[in-house]
Structure 1
Amino acid sequence: MTPANPLAAALGVSPRFDAGLYRWVTDTAQHAPGPVNDTIRVFSDYGLGLFAVLMLLALWHARPYGPVRTVQALAVPLTVVAAFLVNDVLKSLVDEQRPCRTLHTVTVEACPALGDWSFPSNHTVIAAATAAALLLVDRRVGLLAAPLALLMGASRVWIGVHYPHDVLAGLVVGALVGTLLTLLVRRYAPRAERWRLLNVPLLDGRGDPVADAAPAAPATPATPTGPMGAGSRPAEQPSVPTAPE
């Protein structure tokens, strides 16, 4: 089958490119236990929610480190949206039909409707962009997101809604957009500290919060002291009796 348009031909996108690998994966899925396929399908359809949780975790980790780090964490969702929009434009330019429509294979997931283009995989782009951005903002959280992004891409082939090359392209597009935009945010994020846009405590060299200098409290008058201690009343002088006249 010929590609849908000249751009698809230039990119080498054709159902014949990796149709054999796609068929092998979907045939293997048909022989897998039902609970396995159900688990993979649920993760593939709803697993992007895990990436939203990781974004919130990165934001929580960033707050003690000041406004610069916090701005970078806040920009991760915007970076992911930008990656999705870039990918949506690319999908509309290539116009590749889903493999389950072209190859007529039995798949775990119901095949998407005609016109719901396949190349590149949106789910994979979103997952890869999130992982790439988080690796630059919070490495520990990014190391959790990276394998999840790979699993997300593999699950899209397993349930039969994407070719392998759709997933590979999605990983490239997502990682590229996520990395470039996060580096751009990192360059301009220091302005947030000068602008004081966020009310986030800064840390000193020892990792302790730096408190703003508070005005000195007014001096209070000293409390008179007596033999019985602070705040006691002065002792009364004994009265001297007078002789009768």
Structure 2
Amino acid sequence: MLSVAAGVIAWLSPGGLGQSGAVTVKDGTSASLYLSLTGPVADAPSWLGTILEVASEGTLVVLGVLLVWSWWTGLRRRDARATAGAVLIGAGTIAAYAVSEAVKLVVDEERPCRALRAAADVIAACPEPGDWSFPSNHATLAAGLAAGLAILWPRLAAVTLPLAGAAALLRVLVGVHYPHDVLAGAILSSTVVAAVLLVFLPLAQRTVSRMIPAS
């Protein structure tokens, strides 16, 4: 599972390994899709950019609240699986974020709002130079939380997965990421969190059950 995800992320990557300087993506399917999505938004009133950026952060807040709710519900009900699972989701998401940061330093992909400045007029402020684009940290965090919660509580999938999709789309709409950036981040984190739950949940559940025995 992890090897397949790594292969897909490597395929989505614009390169960068062993290359000096920033990698710029100025053409291809992802760049074209980026321009088609950001164009109409850039023509909207300036206040829309603020709303979209707040909404982008808001998706992470909601997913984080759902994770805390999952943990607290499990603890209150003395449900060792839910309690342990929530902790593992958090740990897996943090691990995926760390990997995402490491990949950024290897790929050094320039933000599209900088690489396509001549062709794109974006609604949000472009991050500072050196704040690399691939993969998207927001998409990494959102997808990790969403996938983990959907695995632990399948009924939540109808809420968490659309929230993760919205988080990824919003990062493109405001102009700070290419579509392949958010796709790579989502694949990375959802795979890592799923693997963490698959491997460690039985052991973590047994450990927690000794600490909070069922009533």
How many residues get paired? Answer: 194
* 1:22 maps onto 2:34 in alignment: yes
Match of 2:92 among 71, 76, 79: 79
Q: Which residue of 1 aligns with 2:116?
A: 103
Match of 2:57 among 42, 45, 50: 45
Q: Which residue of 2 aligns with 1:162?
A: 177
Larger-gyration structure (1/2): 1
Distance of aligned partners of 1:107 and 1:186 in 2 relative to their CA distance in 1, 3 Å threshold: same
- Write the distance in 2 (CA, Å) between the matches of 1:52 and 1:86: 20
* TM-score computed with the length of structure 1 as normaliser: 0.72
Deviation string, structure 1 residues 140-185 (Cα, Å, up to 9, x no partner): 2343111000000000000000011111111111111111112122
Contact 2:138 2:167 in 1 (8 A): yes
1:5 partner letter: G
* TM-score computed with the length of structure 2 as normaliser: 0.81
State the 1:73 CA deviation. 1.6
- Write the distance in 2 (CA, Å) between the matches of 1:88 and 1:170: 10
Deviation string, structure 1 residues 185-235 (Cα, Å, up to 9, x no partner): 2131233156x22x35x2xxxxxxx4xxxxxxxxxxxxxxxxxxxxxxxxx
Q: Which runs of 5+ in 2 are unaligned?
A: 1-13
- Write the distance in 2 (CA, Å) between the matches of 1:4 and 1:84: 20
State the 1:57 CA deviation. 1.6
State the 1:100 CA deviation. 0.7
State the 1:6 CA deviation. 4.2
Distance of aligned partners of 1:109 and 1:36 in 2 relative to their CA distance in 1, 3 Å threshold: closer
My pick for the range that moved more, 22-31 or 58-67, is: 58-67
* 1:144 maps onto 2:159 in alignment: yes
Q: Which runs of 5+ in 1 are unaligned?
A: 203-209, 211-245
2:31 partner letter: A
CA RMSD of superposed structures (Å): 2.2
Aligned-residue identity in percent: 34
Contact 1:68 1:192 in 2 (8 A): no
The answer to which structure has the higher helix fraction is 2
Distance of aligned partners of 1:142 and 1:7 in 2 relative to their CA distance in 1, 3 Å threshold: farther
- Write the distance in 2 (CA, Å) between the matches of 1:110 and 1:34: 11
Higher normalized contact order (CA 8 Å, seq sep 6+, divided by chain length): 2
Segments ≥4 residues shifted beyond 6 Å: none
1:179 partner letter: A
